[in-house]
Structure 1
Amino acid sequence: MEDFFIRHYNEFISSGITLAIVFVLKFLTNKMIKKVGSISDLNVARTRLVSKYFSFGFTALTIVAFTLIWGVNVKELGLILSSVFAVIGVALFAQWSILSNVTAGIILFFSFPFKIGDRIKIMDKEIESSGTYIIEDIRAYHIHLRRENGELLTYPNNLMLQKAVCVIAEEGFENEGSDAV
């Protein structure tokens, strides 16, 4: 048993360093996401969702790093990865809209052009009645918009990036530049 640890000393050290780096990166990323969420006054559930996405990404990178550190045969690894990516590619092609909505949700989180409670108007010809909506919830795939008459519209995140969206100011809002004569 001691011989095993001596033979793989470098792999154990590299694995430990990799784990330490990943934990530090996860910690810093989570702090940054929480800070962006609190500064932007975003929903806590939305902040947690973006944190989970980044955590999943770090976990995948850690698995790849361990595979390389422990010296898996590259030819065998290439065969396995090409098969896995072929299956994932077909699945993502079939589900491209889900992936684009999740990506748009992350972009909306970091760009925060609007937040829950904002009154907006969407410039989309395909919506039957164009009116104002109040953003009720922003989820991973879609946004819940409530009309003034109480109807709930579920609108995909990717369309929020593709269509023009006007944020309507509160009635008591005055333009700072309007004092000029």
Structure 2
Amino acid sequence: MKELIFEYQRQLLGTIICVLILLISRFASTKAIRKVGKLRDIHEARTRLIIKYVSVGHTILAFSVLIFVWGVNFRELGLVLSSVFAILGVALFANWSILSNITAGVILFFSFPFKIGDRIRILDKEVPDEAVIIDIKAFYFHMINDHGEHITYPNNLLLQKGVVLIEKQVHLDEDGSGIL
């Protein structure tokens, strides 16, 4: 066991440093995202969703660094990565709207002037009524209009269409299903 540790001493030290940096950066980014969420009065569920996205990004970055620390053969790694990227490219091309909705959800978190409980009108023929925002998920905006109809609207379309703020912080039922 001592021989194994001595032989891979540099890689083990690099791994420990990488894991420590990962933990510190995750902690700092989580704290920063929570602070932004609190300052902008953003719903806690949305804040947790963005934290999850950032954590996945940190993990992918740390995994990439560990590949270099352990000295993986680049020719073999290139073959594997090109195959993986080819498959991902086809899969992501087929599901481009999913990625655009997730990206729009992150953009909406950091720079969107509307919150859960606000009454809005989307300048779109297909959504003629005003509605109250009841939830904002990774892919969709959930709203309810005055007729009690639940409307689900994709995040990426919300960035593309004009939105009029009618009233801030309309009071919702306990379960968020209707307007008081």
TM value normalised by structure 1 = 0.89
Contact 1:40 1:112 in 2 (8 A): no
Q: In structure 2, how many angstroms separate the alpha carbons of the residues matched to 1:154 and 1:106?
A: 18
Partner of 2:99: 99
Q: Does 1:155 align with 2:153?
A: yes
For residue 124 of structure 2, what is the amino acid of its counterpart?
D
**Partner Cα separation in structure 2 for residue 125 and residue 131 of structure 1:** 9
Q: CA deviation at 1:112?
A: 2.8
Superposed displacement of residue 15, structure 1: 1.0
* Aligned residue in 2 for 1:16: 16
The structure whose Rg is larger is: 1
| Equivalent pair of 1:120/1:135 in contact (CA under 8 Å) | yes
2:54 alignment counterpart: 54
Q: Distance in 1 between matches of 2:126 and 2:140?
A: 17
- Which runs of 5 or more residues in structure 1 are unaligned? 171-181
Letter in 1 for 2:32: M
Cα distance in structure 2, aligned partners of 1:54 and 1:126: 34
Q: TM-score, normalised by structure 2?
A: 0.90
Partner residue of 1:84? 84
The question of whether the paired residues in 2 share the 8 Å contact of 1:101 and 1:142 is answered with yes
Measure, in 2, the Cα distance between the counterparts of 1:59 and 1:110.
Answer: 22
* 1:28-79 Cα deviation digits (max 9, x unpaired): 0100111111111111111111111111111111111111100110000000
Letter in 1 for 2:5: F
Aligned-pair distance for 1:169?
A: 3.6
Whether 1:137 and 2:168 are equivalent positions in the alignment is no
Alpha-carbon distance between aligned partners in 2 of 1:40 and 1:146, rounded to the nearest angstrom: 23
Aligned counterpart, 2:120? 120
2-11 or 79-88: bigger deviation: 2-11
Q: Secondary structure at the match of 1:62?
A: helix
Deviation at 1:109, TM superposition (A): 0.4
- CA deviation string 1:93-129 (max 9, x = no partner): 01100110011001000113100000111111233xx
Q: Distance in 2 between matches of 1:101 and 1:70?
A: 36
CA RMSD in angstroms comes to 1.1
Q: Distance in 2 between matches of 1:138 and 1:144?
A: 6
**Aligned pairs, number:** 168
- The one-letter code sitting in structure 2 at the alignment partner of 1:140 is A
Letter in 2 for 1:65: V
Counterpart residue type for residue 33 of structure 2: I
Q: Which residue of 2 aligns with 1:176?
A: none
